[in-house]
């Protein structure tokens, strides 16, 4: 458990650094992949259940703190993304690169949409979803490109015994196939 959390925390900080500094320096003003979404997908596929959901919420909250603007939009987006991955993974095999990329694409798009909707409804920010669709799609695509590699790395660095799920938290149907 401690090893899992340590690896997870290091990957999260590295992802924030790459997203905030490295990519912005190399390709300024361009959309960047969302490493938080990839980590949420990892939680949904490896941990699952309520504990994974709480982990995704905390990840989103940390991303909100990193922005220093509002608490809540990234957390809600991460929660919705987690639910989406759990739902889709319960209906399809999530053991190939293409399916992982598809999961990452859809969850990244969902997270971005939730973020924009919350900005509009709670704060009343003048953000037009139609204007942002292109950026949302591009960011989701970039996230989908890196997701298979990063997920393979995370699955390789951790094992399913690092975070054993108790029967009490098993809320997913039996036909789920998880990435080994």
Q: Cα–Cα distance between 77 and 79 in angstroms, integer? A: 5
Q: Which is nearer to another protein, 74 or 103 (CB)?
A: 74
Q: Which is nearer to another protein, 156 or 167 (CB)?
A: 167
CA-to-CA dists, residue 172 to 63, 73, 83, 86, 127, angstroms: 27, 26, 11, 8, 36
Sign of the CA dihedral 163, 167, 171, 176? Answer: positive
Least distance (Å) between residue 111 CB and another protein: 10
Least distance (Å) between residue 152 CB and another protein: 23
- Per-residue contact track with another protein, 129 to 158, x per CB under 8 A? --xx--x---x-------------------
Query: Cβ distance 123 to 73 under 8 Å?
Result: no
Residues 6 or more apart in contact with residue 100 via CB below 8 angstroms? 41, 94, 147, 148, 151, 179
Tokens representing 99 are 């399916």
Tokens representing 36 are 């938080």
The verdict on 68 binding another protein (CB under 8 A) reads: yes
- Per-residue contact track with another protein, 11 to 50, x per CB under 8 A? --x--xx-xxxx-xxx-xx-xx-x--------------xx
Q: Write out the residues near another protein by the rule CB under 8 A.
A: 13, 16-17, 19-22, 24-26, 28-29, 31-32, 34, 49-50, 53-54, 57, 60-76, 79-80, 82-83, 86, 112, 115-116, 118-119, 122-123, 125-128, 131-132, 135, 139, 168-169, 171-172
């Amino acid at each position: 458990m401690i090893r899992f959390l340590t690896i997870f925390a290091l990957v999260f900080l590295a992802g924030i650094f790459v997203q905030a500094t490295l990519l912005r320096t190399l390709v300024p003003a361009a959309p960047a992949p969302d490493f938080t979404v990839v980590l949420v997908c990892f939680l949904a596929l490896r941990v699952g259940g309520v504990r994974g959901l709480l982990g995704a919420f905390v990840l989103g909250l940390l991303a909100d703190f990193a922005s220093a603007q509002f608490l809540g939009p990234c957390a809600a987006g991460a929660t919705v993304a987690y639910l989406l991955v759990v739902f889709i993974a319960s209906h399809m095999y999530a053991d190939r690169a293409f399916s992982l990329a598809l999961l990452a694409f859809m969850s990244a798009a969902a997270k971005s949409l939730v973020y924009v909707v919350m900005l509009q409804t709670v704060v009343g920010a003048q953000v037009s979803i139609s204007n942002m669709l292109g950026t949302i799609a591009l960011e989701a695509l970039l996230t989908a490109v890196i997701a298979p590699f990063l997920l393979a790395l995370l699955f390789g660095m951790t094992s399913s015994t690092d975070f054993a799920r108790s029967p009490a938290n098993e809320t997913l149907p039996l036909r789920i196939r998880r990435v080994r």
